[in-house]
């Protein structure tokens, strides 16, 4: 047998590697965009930035140090420069895919950072393996702008896993639905009609405000916002406001009706003294009809000033002499506490005898009719 040359012996001393092999090595050099490994082969192994991470701006010197031990996958042996091209990312992705497969089979809840906001949803990364969360599965409510999730850590479950087709789908919505259902069950077991609670304004409509009570929404109807008249809920509330309310009703479908009309704040409390017949009061004209003007004496307390009681002379309609918002002074000529009805007269201050003769039940009945509208 002929003796081997030194070069042949050196060649034989190196291990043999092939594309796809997993190798271990030691870092001998690090640049911002490249890592060089001693892998016990005749050529060093090279990991470029793109084969280390999906972050194109990552400075590799901030995450890897000389003498660090690393494991990587061989993607090309003996390239044009005589080096071995390695991939840390692809090996991590394979491990990540296995991790996701296990999570899919076990329905495990995962937590990961949103690395990219796409037109149709969000992209998160678990151990270098990408998961796509469609926009429809990001939340249990419509999200107009998904950008608010950028760089945020979110929880989700895997509902579809096919790494070979690069199709791994996540779902955050079902977790939120379960969480809210649990919160609703807990809250509904604690609250009863009459409880005073504090919530946060979640949505505003022209008929009322939806308030989050801590996992369950309650409706504060426009008619329950104040003892006075409310024209537009958006003028009283804005999204995010904290509101103190009490539970007025809980129906069979767990729908909660709320109210801010606390009984102790009822403006009709003590009204028999403040608005007794004969008292002279001041108020603002709140609205008008053809038969009279309604004067707000206090928030939630309106009185009717009949057209026949506005002036000594005949008036065709209230708007001929009055306007909404105008301050007027009048005498209370009729008071029905049980019905919350009050009748006024300016004429009684000008010509008391004439006014007394003309005041009749017609005025009070008009109050009843108009107040119920």
Residue 186 lies in a domain: no
pLDDT above 70 for 9: no
Q: What percent of the chain has pLDDT over 70?
A: 89
DSSP 180: H
Which of 231, 264, 297 terminates a domain? The answer is: 264
DSSP one-letter string for 314-351: --S-GGGT--TT-EEEEEEEEEETTTTEEEEESHHHH-
Predicted pLDDT of residue 20: 85
Predicted pLDDT of residue 81: 65
Q: Would you say 215 and 260 are in contact if contact means Cβ atoms under 8 Å apart?
A: no
DSSP one-letter string for 125-167: EETTEEEEEEGGGT-SS--S-GGGGTT-EEEEEEEEEEGGGTE
Q: Are residues 201 and 233 in the same domain?
A: yes
Predicted pLDDT of residue 227: 87
Which of 89, 124, 157 terminates a domain? The answer is: 89
pLDDT interval class at 10 (50, 70, 90): very low
Predicted pLDDT of residue 47: 94
Region 311-326 average pLDDT:
91
Q: Are residues 294 and 344 in the same domain?
A: yes
pLDDT above 60 for 185: yes
Closest CA to 258 of 197, 343, 336, 171: 197
For 49-82, the pLDDT digits (tens) are: 999 987 888 999 999 999 999 999 999 987 566 6
Which of 213, 238, 264 terminates a domain? The answer is: 264
What's the Rg (C-alpha) of the chain?
A: 39
pLDDT interval class at 92 (50, 70, 90): confident
Q: Would you say 218 and 210 are in contact if contact means Cβ atoms under 8 Å apart?
A: yes
Residue 260 lies in a domain: yes
Predicted pLDDT of residue 13: 47
Residue 317 lies in a domain: yes
Predicted pLDDT of residue 175: 95
Predicted pLDDT of residue 199: 93
Give every CB contact of residue 98 below 8 A, 6+ residues apart in sequence: none
Q: Would you say 34 and 48 are in contact if contact means Cβ atoms under 8 Å apart?
A: yes
Other Cβ atoms less than 10 A from the Cβ of 345: the count is: 25
Predicted pLDDT of residue 15: 62
Backbone torsions φ then ψ of 212, nearest 5 degrees: -80, 120
Q: Are residues 29 and 83 in the same domain?
A: yes
Q: Are residues 148 and 229 in the same domain?
A: no
Q: Are residues 340 and 283 in the same domain?
A: yes
Predicted pLDDT of residue 361: 46
For 255-307, the pLDDT digits (tens) are: 899 999 999 988 888 888 889 999 999 999 999 999 999 999 988 899 999 99
pLDDT above 50 for 373: no
pLDDT interval class at 252 (50, 70, 90): confident
Residue 221 lies in a domain: yes
Q: Are residues 252 and 336 in the same domain?
A: no
Using the structure block, give the residue that is written with the tokens 């804005």. Answer: 238
Direct distance between the N- and C-terminal alpha carbons of the chain, in angstroms, rounded to an integer: 116
DSSP 226: -
Q: Are residues 358 and 275 in the same domain?
A: yes
Q: Are residues 245 and 297 in the same domain?
A: no
User: Is 0.85 topped by the overall pTM?
Assistant: no
Q: Are residues 15 and 33 in the same domain?
A: yes
The whole-angstrom separation of Cα 60 and Cα 64 is: 6
Range of the domain at 68: 6-89
Query: Total domain count for the chain?
Result: 4
Predicted pLDDT of residue 354: 57
Residue 213 lies in a domain: yes
Q: Are residues 20 and 58 in the same domain?
A: yes
Q: What is the CATH number of the domain that holds 134?
A: 2.40.50.140
- What does DSSP say about strands 84-87 and 110-118: parallel, antiparallel, or unpaired? unpaired
The token duo for 42 is 């005749």
Residue 20 lies in a domain: yes
pLDDT above 90 for 142: no
Residue 95 lies in a domain: no
The token duo for 286 is 């709140």
Predicted pLDDT of residue 108: 94
Residue 40 lies in a domain: yes
Q: Are residues 120 and 41 in the same domain?
A: no
Q: Are residues 210 and 142 in the same domain?
A: no
pLDDT interval class at 166 (50, 70, 90): confident
Q: Would you say 309 and 347 are in contact if contact means Cβ atoms under 8 Å apart?
A: yes
Predicted pLDDT of residue 146: 93
């Amino acid at each position: 047998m002929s003796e081997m040359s030194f070069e042949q012996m050196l060649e034989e001393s190196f291990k043999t590697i092939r594309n796809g092999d997993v190798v271990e090595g030691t870092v001998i050099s690090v640049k911002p965009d490249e890592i060089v490994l001693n892998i016990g082969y005749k050529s060093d192994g090279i990991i470029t930035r793109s084969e280390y991470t999906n972050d194109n701006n990552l400075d590799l010197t901030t995450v890897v140090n000389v003498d660090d031990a690393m494991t990587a996958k061989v993607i090309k042996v003996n390239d044009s420069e005589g080096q071995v091209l390695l991939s840390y990312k692809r090996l991590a992705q394979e491990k990540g895919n296995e991790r996701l497969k296990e999570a899919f089979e076990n329905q495990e809840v995962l937590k990961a950072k949103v690395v990219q906001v796409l037109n149709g949803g969000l992209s998160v990364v678990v151990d270098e393996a990408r998961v796509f969360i469609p926009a429809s599965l990001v939340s249990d409510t419509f999200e107009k702008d998904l950008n608010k999730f950028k760089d945020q850590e979110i929880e989700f479950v895997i509902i579809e896993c096919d790494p070979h087709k690069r199709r791994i789908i996540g779902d955050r919505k079902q977790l939120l639905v379960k969480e809210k259902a649990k919160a609703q069950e807990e809250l509904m077991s604690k609250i009863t009609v009459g409880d005073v609670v504090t919530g946060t304004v979640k949505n505003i409509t022209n008929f009322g405000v939806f308030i989050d009570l801590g996992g369950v929404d309650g409706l504060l109807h426009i008619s329950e916002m104040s003892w006075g008249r409310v024209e537009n809920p958006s003028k009283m509330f804005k999204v995010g406001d904290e509101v103190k309310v009490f539970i007025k009703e809980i129906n069979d479908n767990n729908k909660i009706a709320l109210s801010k009309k606390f009984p102790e704040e009822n403006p009709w409390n003590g009204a028999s003294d403040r608005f007794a017949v004969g008292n002279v009061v001041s108020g603002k004209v709140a609205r008008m009809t053809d038969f009279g003007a309604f004067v707000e004496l206090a928030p939630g307390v309106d009185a009717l000033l009949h057209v026949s009681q506005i002036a000594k002379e005949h008036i065709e309609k209230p708007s001929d002499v009055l306007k909404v918002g105008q301050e007027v002074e009048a005498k209370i000529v009729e008071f029905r506490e049980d019905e919350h009805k009050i009748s006024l007269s300016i004429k009684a201050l000008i010509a008391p005898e004439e006014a007394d003769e003309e005041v009749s039940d017609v005025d009070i009945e008009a109050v009843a009719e108009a107040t119920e509208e």
